[in-house]
């Protein structure tokens, strides 16, 4: 274990605490801190007045000594009498004002806790949506479920624990100052006992911190794996190979259970052990004060009260630090996910508006995912209205070529130019609004057919949606669904056949009337008749609307209608076959 990790608050913890507090506007943080400080001052004021009150109640006010005398003199100077009722009123007022200020502070904390969770969720969703394509390929999506749900909530609770810890620490400080007014020896004893308590219970705090982190890490991994498994459960069930995963999850759950048990135990032990530590010192102190020093009983009671207050408040601050560690892992995790997604933001700086009146061209384009060249010096001109069939063996780089055209990757050398303007200088958002895209591995949303086509965009009327569904050759089967276009297609479109899903995905790609249609094996799951219908519709669009089409395919129906067949092998384009 690193030395840093053995500290109750390491440098890393402080850095993360600063980031957590930084989520909330400074104004609100100051309001919380201000109310807590005021509450402590009011309480300190009331507590300090207890000293002369006890003196006055027990003896003749004129004979009060030391701090009691000074406080009585100070009250006299501001016109308050030494009447016990006045002193009692000050003590009660101090307590009431403290309660009021704490209520105001708690209200602010309530807002802030909700804001922390909400702001983290908003940030995470915002940065996820705008990340580069390569980010999603690396990212276990299930891990983000845990960031959005439990980790964001825990972050809010961590903020709550941080403010409670601050509040307890400030109160302990005020009590200590009152103790200092009464007797420096008392203050020293209080510091000593608190120090012993913190040092002896530190091990529990560190153990809780580590167990909380273990739980968080395991939960994140578990959710990531579970999401993966559920997405791919069908073949596993078909081959009865799901049992192995169940065992893996059980192992993870057992580790989490152990970490959770240790964390809860450490938390309770911390609380339980604070009392005997304080009790032992208190009994010893009482004995010395009463027997050895022969101090008056009233004074001893007052000093004991102060001592208990200081040490138990330090103990509560330590418990809140415990809570901060339990929940802080949640914040660190979701904050880390946000930073990672932010670092992967797509560069969508405003550029030139694309025209796409003549062509898009690959000029000596080279690109590799790693050291290996996936695309190796490709030159390809796609004129407006062309229907290109892109063929080639598996792994040749066809999808990568399409991803380059979409601006998902940037060429390592060479250029992709649209009407002579490099894609790097073009506004990518505008370029992509010109594109209709059906990927190889398509997923529909758990929504209606209409919702999947329009993606909830209110610009598309029912007529637009129907038109696109017809163009995709899907109208017949959609009409036969129980609720037509309003039928819900199930999780990832599971209630439809593979071919039906492909046609809905094609309708989605056509509904916004794209200028460039990219189909990556988009009709692979269709029967020859359905495919022929779609191929004919798309070929008609290429002529009537001057729609440019790139179809990654091996299917003869496409090869027959293509104006050109381009073959890619090992990242290189072979000579193209031009149809008349
Ligand atoms: N994100 C990635 N990271 C690393 N390598 C990748 C990545 N995506 C693709 N590759 C590699 O690039 C090569 C080309 O992949 P690509 O998907 O472009 O081929 P393809 O021609 O579309 O194949 P298929 O017809 O099987 O879909 C493959 O060797 C693949 O392993």
Q: What is the DSSP letter of 180?
A: H
How many domains would you assign to the chain? Answer: 2
The model carries a pTM of: 0.75
Whether 87 maps to a domain, the answer reads yes
Is the pLDDT score of 64 beyond 80?
no
**Using one digit for the tens of pLDDT, what is the confidence trace for 404-415?**
999 999 999 999
Interface predicted TM-score of the whole assembly (ipTM), two decimals: 0.96
Q: How many helices (H) and strands (E) does the chain have?
A: 19, 11
Q: Identify the burial level of 371 via C-beta atoms within 10 angstroms of its C-beta, where 0-12 means exposed, 13-18 middle and 19 or more buried.
A: exposed
**Using one digit for the tens of pLDDT, what is the confidence trace for 299-356?**
777 778 878 888 888 888 888 888 898 888 889 889 998 999 999 888 777 788 889 9
- Specify the residue with its C-alpha closest to ligand 1, atom 2: 369
> 317 and 216 in one domain?
yes
Whether 198 maps to a domain, the answer reads yes
> 406 and 471 in one domain?
yes
> 449 and 301 in one domain?
no
Least Cα distance to 502 among 457, 535, 467 occurs for 535
Most confident region among 55-69, 310-324, 414-428 by mean pLDDT:
414-428
Whether 349 maps to a domain, the answer reads no
- The answer, yes or no, to whether any atom of ligand 1 lies below 6 A from the CB of 167, is no
> 168 and 49 in one domain?
yes
Segments in 232-295 forming alpha helices (H)? 233-238, 243-287
Most confident region among 132-141, 317-326, 488-497 by mean pLDDT:
317-326
- The answer, yes or no, to whether any atom of ligand 1 lies below 6 A from the CB of 441, is no
Whether 407 maps to a domain, the answer reads yes
> 315 and 371 in one domain?
no
User: In the chain, pLDDT over 70 holds for what percent of residues?
Assistant: 94
Whether 402 maps to a domain, the answer reads yes
**Boundary-marking domain end, from 313, 343, 373:** 343
> 144 and 172 in one domain?
yes
- Specify the residue with its C-alpha closest to ligand 1, atom 3: 369
CA of 406 to the centre of ligand 1 (A): 15
**Boundary-marking domain end, from 312, 343, 374:** 343
> 255 and 388 in one domain?
no
- Specify the residue with its C-alpha closest to ligand 1, atom 26: 394
Is the pLDDT score of 567 beyond 90?
yes
> 255 and 178 in one domain?
yes
* Distance (Å, whole) CA 367 – CA 402: 12
CA of 414 to the centre of ligand 1 (A): 20
Whether 354 maps to a domain, the answer reads no
User: In the chain, pLDDT over 90 holds for what percent of residues?
Assistant: 27
* Distance (Å, whole) CA 453 – CA 509: 8
Residue 442: which CATH number? 3.40.50.300
Whether 2 maps to a domain, the answer reads no
Average pLDDT of the segment spanning 402-427: 92
Encode 18-45: b = buried (16+ Cβ within 10 Å), e = exposed. eebbebbeeeebebbbebbbbbbbbbbb
CA of 333 to the centre of ligand 1 (A): 31
**Boundary-marking domain end, from 288, 310, 343:** 343
Indicate the top mutation candidate among 369, 375, 392 to test ligand 1's pocket, ranked by most ligand atoms within 8 A of CB: 369
> 391 and 257 in one domain?
no
Whether 199 maps to a domain, the answer reads yes
> Is the pLDDT higher at 289 or at 543?
543
> 546 and 515 in one domain?
yes
Range in 276-280, 506-510, 552-556 with the lowest mean pLDDT: 276-280
Residue 239: which CATH number? 1.20.1560.10
- The answer, yes or no, to whether any atom of ligand 1 lies below 6 A from the CB of 397, is yes
> 393 and 435 in one domain?
yes
Can you give the residue range of the structural domain that contains 422? 359-578
Is the pLDDT score of 401 beyond 80?
yes
- The answer, yes or no, to whether any atom of ligand 1 lies below 6 A from the CB of 369, is yes
- The answer, yes or no, to whether any atom of ligand 1 lies below 6 A from the CB of 126, is no
> 257 and 368 in one domain?
no
- Specify the residue with its C-alpha closest to ligand 1, atom 31: 395
């Amino acid at each position: 274990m690193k030395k840093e990790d053995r500290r109750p608050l390491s440098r890393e913890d402080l850095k993360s605490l600063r980031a957590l507090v930084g989520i909330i506007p400074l104004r609100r943080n100051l309001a919380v801190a201000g109310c807590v400080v005021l509450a402590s001052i009011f309480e300190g004021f009331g507590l300090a007045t207890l000293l002369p009150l006890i003196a006055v109640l027990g003896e003749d006010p004129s004979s009060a000594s030391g701090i009691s005398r000074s406080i009585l003199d100070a009250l006299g100077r501001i016109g308050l009498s030494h009447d016990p009722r006045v002193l009692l009123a000050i003590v009660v007022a101090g307590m009431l004002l403290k309660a009021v200020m704490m209520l105001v502070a708690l209200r602010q904390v309530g807002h802030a806790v909700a804001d922390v969770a909400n702001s983290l969720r908003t940030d995470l969703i915002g940065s996820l949506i705008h990340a580069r394509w390569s980010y999603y390929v690396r990212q276990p999506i299930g891990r983000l479920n845990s960031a959005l749900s439990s980790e964001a909530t825990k972050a809010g609770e961590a903020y709550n624990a941080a403010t409670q810890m601050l509040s307890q620490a400030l109160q302990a400080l005020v009590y200590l100052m009152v103790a200092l007014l009464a007797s420096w020896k008392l203050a020293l004893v209080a510091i000593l006992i608190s120090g012993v308590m913190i040092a002896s219970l530190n091990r529990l705090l560190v153990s809780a911190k580590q167990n909380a982190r273990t739980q968080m890490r395991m939960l994140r991994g578990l959710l990531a794996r579970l999401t993966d498994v559920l997405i791919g459960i069908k073949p596993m069930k078909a081959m009865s190979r799901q049992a192995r995963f169940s065992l893996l999850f059980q192992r993870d759950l057992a580790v989490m259970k152990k970490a959770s048990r240790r964390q809860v135990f450490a938390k309770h032990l911390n609380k339980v052990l604070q009392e005997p530590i304080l009790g032992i010192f208190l009994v010893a102190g009482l004995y010395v004060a009463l027997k050895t020093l022969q101090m008056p009983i009233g004074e001893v009671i007052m000093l004991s009260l102060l001592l208990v207050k200081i040490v138990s408040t330090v103990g509560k601050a330590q418990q809140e630090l415990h809570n901060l560690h339990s929940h802080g892992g949640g914040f660190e995790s979701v904050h880390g996910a946000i930073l990672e997604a932010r670092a992967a933001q797509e560069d969508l700086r405003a550029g030139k508006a694309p025209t796409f009146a003549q062509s898009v061209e690959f000029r000596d384009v080279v690109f590799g995912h790693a050291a290996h060249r996936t695309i190796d010096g490709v030159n390809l001109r796609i004129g407006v209205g062309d229907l290109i069939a892109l063929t080639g063996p598996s792994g040749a780089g066809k999808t990568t070529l399409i991803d380059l055209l979409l601006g998902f990757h940037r060429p390592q050398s060479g250029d992709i130019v649209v009407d002579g303007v490099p894609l790097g200088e073009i506004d990518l958002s505008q370029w992509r609004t010109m594109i209709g895209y059906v990927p190889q591995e398509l997923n529909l949303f758990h929504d209606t057919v209409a919702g999947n086509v329009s993606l909830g965009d209110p610009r598309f009327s029912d007529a637009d949606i129907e038109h696109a569904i017809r163009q995709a050759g899907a109208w017949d089967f959609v009409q036969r669904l129980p609720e037509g276009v309003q039928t819900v297609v199930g999780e990832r479109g599971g209630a439809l056949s593979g071919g039906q899903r492909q046609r809905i995905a094609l309708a989605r790609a056509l509904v916004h009337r794209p200028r460039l249609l990219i189909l990556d094996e988009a009709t692979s799951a269709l029967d020859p008749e359905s495919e022929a219908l779609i191929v004919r519709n798309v070929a008609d669009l290429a002529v009537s609307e001057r729609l440019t089409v790139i179809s990654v395919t091996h299917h003869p129906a496409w090869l027959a209608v293509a104006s050109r067949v381009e073959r890619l092998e090992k990242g290189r384009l072979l000579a193209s076959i031009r149809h008349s």
